[in-house]
Amino acid sequence: MSGHRELTVELGERSYPIYIGEGLLDEAGKLFERHGISKKSPLMIITDENIAGRHLAHLESVLQTAGFAVTSAIIPAGETSKSLRELERLTGIALESGLDRKSAIVALGGGVVGDLAGFVAASYMRGIKFVQVPTTILAHDSSVGGKVAVNHPLAKNIIGAFHQPELVLYDLLTLQTLPEREVKAGLSEVVKHGLIWDAEFVTWCDENAGKLLALDADALGYALYKGCSVKAAVVSKDERENDLRAILNLGHTIGHALEAVAGYNELLHGEAIAIGMIGSAKLGVRLGAPEEVYHVTKRVLSRVGLPVRLPEHLDTDEIMRAMMHDKKFQEGTMVFIVPTAIGTVEINKSVSAALVREIVEELKQEAV
């Protein structure tokens, strides 16, 4: 465990540690034991068919050697697995494998695996322990904060819970096989955490974009550590999203609308919110923030290889309509997370739809 980084998500009695480092999968047995995962009750690893081939046998073997009783369940890769059907199937496997109230569910994978496995853990026997082993950069975001959920045919993430893990174990080696496009998309949320909270970290991302894209272990470890730290700081202050936690949605109002209108294949989540963050920066400048907010936001996102221009063929009316349905709009008021400087945002509850429409049009003309 030399050279690994560690931080704590402070949530009172639900506080938990995040370990980040190269080769941490090898330490899973020791770390699980340290954080109270029972060896008497079987645990269940949930992963997807892609990750299973790369890392499942390794994790199973490490845990079995350490004396844990391990069951595994594999889900189809992709968002469609976040369904009640899959929840029922996994619950059946848990029952057949004898999981009891002292058992734990381990999520080995990206955001889809974490969201689904987390809701299995939240609901099985009204809640058992949960461990996150993220294998994507993007999952640094979902592994902090305890939001777990499945989708309903009519809406994403609508059936879920707040369920905090016992620990998060981030092995940087599992990131080495990520496709380049996913690396870039994952860095989008990393940069977002800088933009909402930490100007110094934005500068660091600007200067170290090349190392991040090259998956340099030390740079990546630091970036994930900082990203998790910002999210942890926000979540600690507002676990159940009453107010402050909304700032984590920087770029997401436009981003979600783009995902919905483009279809979920054309734009990855990280790409859509990159465009959304450029939009928020433009909005910020229009509402009085210094010009620099726009220039720096755009430069950093470009450097980590993210798109900054909104695809022209997407219809502005449709984008506006999709935004009106976004759950961030409460009681008819249009709410936006707006930067006031690099590293600082505010929750603006009275942004005019006309202004947002102008910004969307401008984003289609954005120089790349």
Would you tell me which residues interact with a copy of itself (CB under 8 A)? Answer: 40-41, 84-85, 87-88, 91-92, 95-96, 100-102, 122-127, 147, 149, 152-155, 158-162, 240, 327, 330-331
Catalytic residue among 147, 163, 184, 298: 147
Least distance between a copy of itself and beta carbon 144 (Å)? 15
Residue 114 annotated as part of some ligand binding site: yes
Q: Is 252 a catalytic residue?
A: yes
| 265 included as an active-site residue | no
Q: DSSP characters for 21-63?
A: ETTGGGGHHHHHHHTT--SSS-EEEEEEHHHIIIIIHHHHHHH
175 marked among binding-site residues: yes
| 9 is known to lie in a ligand binding site | no
Least separation in angstroms between CB 225 and a copy of itself = 27
Catalytic residue chosen out of the listed positions 13, 96, 126, 312: 126
86 is in an annotated binding site: no
**Is 113 annotated as ligand-binding?**
yes
Indicate which residue of 102, 245, 309, 364 is catalytic.
Answer: 245
Cβ within 8 Å of residue 229, ≥6 positions away: 7
Question: Would you say 47 and 270 are in contact if contact means Cβ atoms under 8 Å apart?
Answer: no
Q: Is 135 annotated as a binding residue?
A: yes
Q: How far is 149 from 154, CA to CA, in rounded Å? A: 14
Contact 319, 256 (CB under 8 A): no
Q: Which three-class secondary structure state does DSSP give residue 352?
A: coil
Which CB sits closer to a copy of itself, 55 or 129? Answer: 129
Q: Please, are residues 281 and 297 in contact by the beta-carbon 8 Å criterion?
A: yes
Residue 231 annotated in active site: yes
| Catalytic residue check, 241 | yes
DSSP at 117: H
Select 59 or 337, whichever has its Cβ closest to a copy of itself: 337
| Contact status, residue 202 vs residue 165, Cβ threshold 8 Å | no
Helical axes 269-286 vs 252-262, angle rounded to 10°: 130
Which residue's CB is nearer to a copy of itself, number 160 or number 305?
A: 160
Residue 83 or 340 with smaller CB distance to a copy of itself: 83
| N residues, the chain | 368
- In the residue annotation, 147 being an active-site residue is answered as yes
Has 198 been labeled as part of a binding site? no
Shortest gap between Cβ of 36 and a copy of itself (angstroms)?
Answer: 14
User: In terms of Cα–Cα distance, which of 302, 267, 20, 256 is closest to 134?
Assistant: 20
Beta-carbon-side half-sphere exposure of residue 39 (alpha carbons within 13 Å):
13
Dihedral-angle region of residue 168 (phi above 0 means left; psi in -120 to 50 means alpha; beta otherwise)? beta
| Cα maximum dimension of the chain | 61
Active-site entry in 27, 166, 189, 259: 189
Query: Which residue out of 33, 49, 182, 241 is catalytically annotated?
Result: 241
Q: What is the smallest separation between the CB atom of 159 and a copy of itself, expressed in angstroms?
A: 5
CB crowding 94-125: b at 16 or more within 10 Å, else e? beebebeeebbbbbbbbbbbbbbbbbbbbbbe
Tell me whether residue 269 is one of the annotated catalytic residues.
yes
| Closer Cβ to a copy of itself, 159 or 233, answer by number | 159
For residues 160 and 307, which CB has a smaller minimum distance to a copy of itself in the complex?
160
> Closest approach of Cβ 126 to a copy of itself, in Å?
5
Smallest separation, CB 330 to a copy of itself (Å): 7
Tell me if residue 189 is catalytic.
Answer: yes
Is there a binding annotation on residue 156? yes
Binding residues for NAD(+): 111-115, 135-136, 147, 156, 174-177
Binding residues for Zn(2+): 189, 252, 269
Active-site residues, by number, are 126, 147, 189, 231, 241, 245, 249, 252, 256, 269
